[in-house]
Amino acid sequence: MNSRNGGRVGNGFTRKEILAGMGSAVAVAAMPPLSARASALSDLAKLLGVDPKYAGKGLSIDVGCSYPVTGPAAIFGSHVTDTPRMAFSQIAEMGGPKFNIILKDNKSGDPQAGVQSVRELGFNKVPMMLTSEVGDLGAELTGIKQYKIFSLDGSGGTSVFGQSRKYFWGTIAITPNDAIPGVIKFMKAKWPDAKRIGYCGWDLGGLTDMVLDQTEQYFKGTNYVYAAAERSKMGATDYTANIQKIKQGNPDIVWAIVYAEDVGYFMKQYATSGINKPVITFTHTLAAQQIAGSAYEGLYFSFDYFDATRPENPWAKFFVEEYAKNVNANVPPDYYTANSYEDSFTLWQMVMRVLKSGGNPKSADALQAALEKNPVAPSLYGGDANTVGTIAWDTDTHSVKHRPMMVAQYSGGKVNQLAHFDIGATNFKMLS
C-alpha cells in the first residue's frame, strides 16, 4: 500500500510526518512552561541589573574550574561543577556570553595537581577561573599571577595566605578567623561559665600557627584559654588520639576546625569519647552529617552558611528551585554549590562591567580593575524578599568584607539558627 500512495495515510499525512508530529507534541508536553521560566529569568536579569547591551551575547569565554575531581573531597568536586554549568546555562539564556567550562582536577588539596591545573589553563590562555581551597592551599597563586587568570575561590576564600594576591579573590568569609569574634560573643551569652577551649584543627603548618595566634588575640579580655590544641592531618578519618588529648585537657567547649567530611569523622568518634561538652565547628555539609549519623545531633557551627531551606532573597529562592530541577531534587544545595553558582555570576558581572567600559572581557587585568572599581556584586546571601543580597570585598586583601554569618545548631534533623552577625561580629544578634 505504501508503495502505491507514497506512504500517505488518511487525510494525506505520511507516517513519517505523523510520527514527527507526535514526537514534537511529546517534546512540547515534556518541556517546562517556557513562559514561566523566561519570565523568571527576565526577572532575575532585572534583579541582577543586567543591561542587554553589555550582557556579552555572542561572546565565547573559557572558564577554568580547579576543583577536587578525585581524592577525598571528590564528592564536593562533582557537586560544585554542577552549579557553574547551571549558572552558565542560565546566563546564556539571559543573553550573556557562552562560558565554556574547562575542568581541572586539583586532586583534593594536592599542590602539584593545583600547579599543573593552573599551568594548563595558562598555556591555553584561559582568562578566568573558579578555584577552591584557597587556590588549592596556595599552590595555584603563583601561576594565577604568572598566567594572568582572574580567579574566584568560593570554598576557602583568601584565608590568610591568599590575601592581596594579584587576580585572586575570595568569595567566602575566612574561616575560622572571620567567624570567631561572633562565636566568642555567642559562647559568652550561651555558656557564661565556660573558660577552657579544646581545639582540634587541620595541621597546615604555619597557617595553623597563625590561626591559633589570632584566636588567642581574640581571647584577650575574656576568660578563654586553650585547654588543648590538637592538630590533625587534613582528610584524616581517625581522630581518636586527638579527641583523647582534648579530653585530657578537660575542656568546657570544643572547637573542631576541620572541614568537609572530616567533621563527620570527628563527631562520630567524639560521641563515644566520654566527653559531653558542646562542639563548635566552622562548616556544615550533608556529607559530614551522613558520616556522623546520630553523632551529628547537637553540633554547633558558625560561618556564612547557605540555608537552602530558608532562601533569603528572590535570587536565592530561584537558585534553590533550579538546583532541585536541574541538579538534585533530593538534596538541597550546600554552601559550596551555592558559592560556585554565585561566583559564576560574579564572573559574568565583571565581564559586563568590562564590556560597558569598552575593555577586553578576556583580560584578567580588565576584570580585576572592574572589581576594584566597584567591589560589590549581587549575592545569594542576605537581601530580602524583593532585593538580592550583596557581597563586598576589601580591595587591599581581596577578602570578603561583608557577609551575613550565623551560629546555628544541627538538631532534630534540621538547622536551627541561633545568632546572626557580620564579619568581625558586627551587628551581632542572638535569635533565641
Partner 1 sequence: MGSFTFDNFLQDAVNGLVNGSAYALIGVGFGLILSVSGRFHIAYAVTYTLAAYVAVWIGNQLGTPFWISLLGGAIAAAILGALMERLVYLPLSLRALGAGSDPLLIMFVASLGLTVIGRNAIALATLSSSSNNITGFNNQGINVGPITITTLNIALVLTAWGLILALAAILNYTALGRMVRAVRANWEMSLCVGIDPTLIFVAVFVIGSFLSGVAGVFQATLTSATPDMGLPPLFYALVVAFVAGLNSSPIRVGLLGVALGLVESISTLFLPTQYSPLVVFAILFFYVALRPVKIADIRRSLTRRRAQAA
Q: Name the site residues for partner 1 (rule: CB under 8 A).
A: 70, 72, 74-75, 78, 203, 228, 230-233, 237-238, 240-242, 244-245, 247-249, 261, 264-265, 268-269, 271-274, 290-291, 293
Grid coordinates given for 102 = 574547562
CB of 275 to partner 1, least distance (A): 8
CB of 108 to partner 1, least distance (A): 10
Q: How far apart are CA 83 and CA 380, in angstroms?
A: 13
Of the pair 107, 402, the CB lying nearest partner 1 is at 107
Report phi then psi at 372, rounded to 5. Answer: -65, -35
CB of 294 to partner 1, least distance (A): 10
Grid coordinates given for 234 = 587534613
CB of 107 to partner 1, least distance (A): 11
Of the pair 268, 401, the CB lying nearest partner 1 is at 268
Residues 408 and 284: beta-carbon distance below 8 Å:
yes
Of the pair 237, 417, the CB lying nearest partner 1 is at 237
CB of 289 to partner 1, least distance (A): 10
Of the pair 170, 264, the CB lying nearest partner 1 is at 264
Q: Give the torsion sign (CA, 315, 316, 318, 322).
A: positive
Q: How far apart are CA 378 and CA 47, in angstroms?
A: 9
Of the pair 40, 327, the CB lying nearest partner 1 is at 327
Of the pair 39, 272, the CB lying nearest partner 1 is at 272
Of the pair 150, 199, the CB lying nearest partner 1 is at 199
Q: How far apart are CA 68 and CA 109, in angstroms?
A: 7
CB of 263 to partner 1, least distance (A): 12
CB of 240 to partner 1, least distance (A): 7
Grid coordinates given for 373 = 572599581
Of the pair 76, 169, the CB lying nearest partner 1 is at 76
CB of 302 to partner 1, least distance (A): 24
